[in-house]
C-alpha cells in the first residue's frame, strides 16, 4: 500500500461560481475602508480606538488610514486620512499616531501587502499573552497553513520607523503575524483578503482556546487536505465574505459612507 498522500485540489481549479451577490453600490476607496473598520468593530476585532487599517492602492505611494482618536465603530468615509511612505499626513482633517510606522514599513518591505490590518482582538491577544500560535485544528484554520508567524518578544510601543523596520523583517512574507503580549497583523493583496484573514484569525484563536480548555487532544488534519481548503478560502470565500460584510454594514448604518 502506498503511503503517498494525494493532495486535494481546491479553489478556482475545482469550482468557480457563475454569479456572486454584489455589494450593490459602487464604493470609493475611502468608503470601502470605512466599511471595513465598521465591520471588524462589529465582530469584536477592534479594541476600541486602537489599531489601524492601511490601504496602499496599486501603483500609489500614499496610504489611506484611520485617524487617531476615533473608534473603529464610529468611522465614516470622510474621516479617512492619507499618509505618505514616511507616515506624514498628506490629507484629512485628523492626525495619525506614530504607531502607523508598523504599517508604512511593512508596505515598504512587502509589495504584495496592499492592505495591512492591526489591532488587539480578544482571543488573539489571549494566545499572544500565552506566547503561542493557535493550533490549526479545524478546517477554517487552513487559511493560515504555512502563513503564520509568531513575533515572540515584546518591548513596548512600535513608535518609530527603525523599530517598525525590525518588526517587518521578523514578519517576513507571512500574511498573518501574532505579536507576543500585543495583537495581530494581517495582510492581503486586496481589502477583501486582509479583512477575511482578520475576521478568521480571531475565530480560529477562539476555537483553539476552547479546544485547549477541554484538555482533550483534537483530531489532526492532513496537510494534503488543508492545502486545497486554503486555496478555496482565499480564491472563493474572501471576496464573497467581504461583499456580505459590506452589504450588512451599509444596511445597518448607511451614514458609514458619508
Ligand atoms: Zn497595537
Q: Residue 106 contacts by C-beta under 8 Å, 6 or more apart in sequence?
A: 113, 116, 164, 167, 168, 171, 185, 187
Can you give the pLDDT at residue 6?
84
Q: How many whole angstroms from 41 Cα to the centroid of ligand 1?
A: 15
Q: How many CB atoms lie within 10 A of CB 99?
A: 18
How do residues 193-232 score in pLDDT, each as one tens digit? 999 999 999 999 999 999 999 999 999 999 999 999 999 9
Per-residue pLDDT for 2 more than 60?
Answer: no
Cβ 65 vs Cβ 82: under 8 Å: yes
Reported pTM: 0.96
The CA-based diameter of the chain, rounded to the nearest angstrom, is 68
Task: Put the strands of the sheet holding 89-91 in their side by side order.
Answer: 89-91, 81-83, 63-65, 52-55, 115-119, 183-188, 176-179, 148-151
Q: How many whole angstroms from 47 Cα to the centroid of ligand 1?
A: 9
Q: How many whole angstroms from 30 Cα to the centroid of ligand 1?
A: 22
Q: How many whole angstroms from 143 Cα to the centroid of ligand 1?
A: 23
Q: How many whole angstroms from 182 Cα to the centroid of ligand 1?
A: 6
How do residues 156-201 score in pLDDT, each as one tens digit? 888 899 999 999 999 999 999 999 999 999 999 999 999 999 999 9
- What Rg value do the Cα atoms of the chain yield, rounded? 18
* Mean pLDDT, rounded, of the chain: 95
How do residues 46-90 score in pLDDT, each as one tens digit? 998 999 999 999 999 999 999 999 999 999 999 999 999 999 999
Amino acid at each position: 500500500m502506498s503511503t503517498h498522500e494525494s493532495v486535494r485540489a481546491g479553489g478556482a481549479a475545482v469550482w468557480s461560481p457563475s454569479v456572486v451577490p454584489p455589494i450593490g453600490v459602487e464604493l470609493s476607496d475611502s468608503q470601502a475602508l470605512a466599511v471595513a473598520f465598521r465591520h471588524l468593530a462589529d465582530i469584536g476585532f477592534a479594541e476600541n480606538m486602537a489599531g489601524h487599517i492601511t490601504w496602499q492602492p496599486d501603483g500609489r505611494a500614499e496610504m489611506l488610514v484611520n485617524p487617531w482618536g476615533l473608534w473603529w465603530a464610529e468611522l465614516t468615509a470622510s474621516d479617512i486620512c492619507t499618509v505618505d511612505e514616511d507616515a506624514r499626513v498628506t490629507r484629512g482633517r485628523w492626525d495619525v499616531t506614530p504607531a502607523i510606522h508598523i504599517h508604512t514599513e511593512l508596505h515598504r518591505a512587502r509589495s504584495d501587502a496592499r492592505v495591512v490590518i492591526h489591532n488587539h482582538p480578544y482571543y488573539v491577544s489571549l494566545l499572544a499573552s500565552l506566547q503561542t500560535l493557535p493550533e490549526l485544528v479545524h478546517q477554517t484554520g487552513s487559511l493560515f497553513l504555512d502563513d503564520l508567524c509568531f513575533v515572540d518578544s515584546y518591548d513596548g510601543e512600535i513608535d518609530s520607523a527603525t523599530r517598525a523596520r525590525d518588526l517587518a523583517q521578523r514578519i517576513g512574507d507571512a500574511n498573518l503575524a501574532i505579536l507576543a503580549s500585543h495583537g495581530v497583523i494581517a495582510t492581503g493583496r486586496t481589502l477583501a483578503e486582509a479583512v477575511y484573514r482578520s475576521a478568521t484569525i480571531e475565530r480560529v484563536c477562539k476555537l483553539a482556546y476552547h479546544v485547549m480548555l477541554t484538555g482533550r487532544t483534537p483530531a489532526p488534519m492532513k496537510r494534503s487536505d488543508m492545502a486545497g481548503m486554503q486555496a478555496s478560502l482565499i480564491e472563493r470565500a474572501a471576496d464573497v465574505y467581504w461583499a456580505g460584510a459590506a452589504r450588512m454594514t451599509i444596511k445597518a448604518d448607511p451614514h458609514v459612507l458619508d
